[in-house]
Amino acid sequence: MIASAAAVVTALLLGAGLTWAVERLFARSGWDAGPTRGAELRGGLDLPNADRWLLPAGPVVALAGVALATVVVPFGPGLIGRDLGIGLFYVIVVVDFVVLGLALAGWGANTPDSVEAFYRIVAQLVAYVVPLGLAYVGVVMMARSLSTVTVVEAQRDLWFVVLQPLGFLLYLVTGLMQSYRAPFLEPFADSIGGGVLGVTGGWSALLWRVALAGVLFVVAAIGAVLYLGGPSGSWLPGWAWMLAKTYALMALMLGLGRCVRPLSTAGMLALSWKVLIPAGLVNVLLVGGLILLGVGPRA
């Protein structure tokens, strides 16, 4: 048990570090850096009104959520922390802890900017959580299971991105929202001084950096599992395929996100209710039709 926990933490740290490298590749000067903005790593900031319990609890809660989510990501045949029967649902639930941690730190720091960031984070949660669930539902309907391993096996013949392109697009957009990357980086915008990241320093800034890079890594890895067949593939070993797909998806998300003007929180909510949720319902309908027609993996 301890060995598998260490393996999961190592995977998370490696993934977060490589994610950080990919992000640096995509960063340009003059762009709002969002969650990748530089924070003071050497010393803590002096916040006179900060809540002395909630502020340090934030990064720990967020990092715990990301580490727990890594448990069910299959990095290859046998390379999985634990194959849970309700793995995908577990991922949705556990990544919510990142939002909780950001909310704790935003409120706890008690500066006008960080409290504003707390409001934006909660509003962003409301914006993405329903379309994200709908993006999972299409895959779960076809694979007939919530387990990540079974979802990967169901895509042995054909990746789900071919069968459900609409769901894949939906996942790209909601995944960007979930990991706070451009164009959905309003909670970390420069206009509020970086939000939560603007009020952290020292070890908590380091933990935030790992947690925020890790959440993008987990989102991309789960996206690769859901739509790109995960670790399955010929010639190369499973883990190489998984990492290649994860980083390709990550680069696609970051690159596409930088092509669009950043949205305000109200814009995100409007996008969610007017475009993403209807698109998700249409996707569920299309997938149901495909299943009735007999397309997709055999049960």
Residue 83 within binding range of another protein, rule CB under 8 A: no
Rounded CA-CA distance 241/223 in Å is 14
Residue 202 within binding range of another protein, rule CB under 8 A: no
Residue 264 within binding range of another protein, rule CB under 8 A: yes
User: 218: alpha, beta or left, given left = phi > 0 and alpha = psi -120 to 50?
Assistant: alpha
Number of neighbouring beta carbons within 10 Å of residue 278: 12
Beta-bridge partner residues of 201: 40
Residue 17 within binding range of another protein, rule CB under 8 A: no
Residue 104 within binding range of another protein, rule CB under 8 A: yes
Residue numbers 126-145 binding another protein by CB under 8 A: 126, 129
Burial status of residue 244 (CB atoms within 10 A of its CB: 0-12, 13-18, 19 or more):
middle
Residue 210 within binding range of another protein, rule CB under 8 A: no
Measured between alpha carbons, how far is residue 296 from residues 169, 185, 213, 291 in Å?
19, 36, 34, 7
Of residues 130 and 169, the one with the C-beta less far from another protein: 130
| Torsional sign, CA 217, 222, 224, 225 | positive
Q: What angle do CA 287, 238, 69 make, to 5 degrees?
A: 65
Among 54, 139, 161, 228, binds another protein (CB under 8 A): 54
Among 105, 139, 182, 199, binds another protein (CB under 8 A): 199
Task: Report the length, in residues, of the chain.
Answer: 299
Which residues have C-beta within 8 Å of that of residue 76, sequence separation ≥ 6?
231, 237, 238, 239, 242
Residue 122 within binding range of another protein, rule CB under 8 A: yes
CB of 189 to another protein, least distance (A): 7
Residue 103 within binding range of another protein, rule CB under 8 A: yes
Of residues 22 and 54, the one with the C-beta less far from another protein: 54
Rounded CA-CA distance 273/280 in Å is 10
Rounded CA-CA distance 232/159 in Å is 10
Of residues 16 and 263, the one with the C-beta less far from another protein: 263
Residue 18 within binding range of another protein, rule CB under 8 A: no
Per CB under 8 A, which region of 14-22, 44-52, 205-213, 241-249 contacts another protein? 44-52
CB of 22 to another protein, least distance (A): 25
Residue 191 within binding range of another protein, rule CB under 8 A: yes
Number of neighbouring beta carbons within 10 Å of residue 233: 15
The residue ranges that bind another protein (CB under 8 A) are 45-54, 84-86, 89-90, 92-93, 96-97, 99-100, 103-104, 107, 109-113, 119, 122, 125-126, 129, 146, 189-193, 198-199, 261-264, 266-267
